[in-house]
Amino acid sequence: MKQNIFKITAALVVTTVLLNSCGPKDNPPLVYFPDMYFPVAYDPLMKAEDAYSDHENEIPAFVKNGGATGMIPVNGTVMQNRDGVAESNSSAAMTPDQYNTGYDESKGVTASPLNAAKQAKDLERGKILYDRTCAACHGTAGDGQGPIVQSGAYTGVPKYADRQISVGSVHYVIMNGRNAMGSYAGQLNAGDRWRVSMYVMNAFKGGVSAGSAVASAANTAVTTDSTATKK
């Protein structure tokens, strides 16, 4: 009798081990540090929840933010502006006429407000930013033949050489977008927008000056940034 009980118990143990070992590999019965095997990607605009239970995230800061993990800046936060380039914080939309007026005025800006003594470094950084941010569509040669265009997914990107542009109008488009191109004001800060604009003019339009224009031109460059956000 004891032998039969032992055999039955042994059979059950072996069966259990076999069933567990042959189970689905993507959901093992026991995993140490499950986040390392099943990472959870959080959408910063969605309510965060515990991935392994029904317990909702109750971190006080997230609760105050409607449960979203993307936090707003602390009250009194001041954005760094090491380049000293003034710009409006308004995000008000423009009418087509206002946009076109601002764009036409921006063509008269032929110098960036950045320090002329740092022009070489600004152009160097401008190239890096252009290659990272703009070349996918505009191409590394500024010919409008970036990899996205060559793939056939997007068309109609003009050559810089064929455009009547200035460093001011390039900056204006980066700031506000144009046609199918959206604004890159959220991707590039004020100084870097001017660096990319300077690089475009220097690499594809024969050169550009920085900080050497008369004060009125530099003021116009700054005003263009503000005009772009007025109703």
19-77 residue pLDDT tens: 665 555 555 556 666 666 666 666 666 665 555 555 555 666 666 666 666 667 778 87
Domain membership flag for residue 198: yes
Q: Give the end-to-end CA distance of the chain in Å, rounded to a whole number.
A: 93
The answer to whether residue 175 sits within a structural domain is yes
Please state the domain count of the chain: 2
- Is 200 a domain residue? yes
pLDDT value of residue 85: 82
Please give the residue that has the higher pLDDT: either 129 or 57: 129
Say if 104 falls within a structural domain: yes
Looking at the fold, whether 173 and 110 belong to one and the same domain comes out as: yes
Looking at the fold, whether 150 and 56 belong to one and the same domain comes out as no
What pLDDT is stored for residue 21 in this prediction?
A: 58
| Same domain, yes or no: 49 and 162 | no
Nearest CA among 169, 163, 188 for reference residue 228: 169
Predicted pLDDT of residue 13? 72
Q: What is the pTM of this model?
A: 0.60
DSSP 8-state secondary structure symbol assigned to residue 29? S
In a domain, 25, yes or no: no
Quick one: 126 and 64 in the same domain? no
- Say how many CA atoms lie within 13 Å of 149 toward its Cβ: 17
Give the H or E element holding residue 99. Answer: helix 96-106
Sign of the CA dihedral 85, 90, 91, 93?
A: negative
Residue 24 lies in a domain: no
> Is residue 121 located within the same domain as residue 186?
yes
The range of the structural domain enclosing residue 48 comes to: 34-74
Is 87 a member of any domain? no
Position 167 in a domain: yes
Same domain, 104 and 54: no
- At 106, which CATH number? 1.10.760.10
Least reliable range by pLDDT among 18-32, 57-71, 79-93, 117-131: 18-32
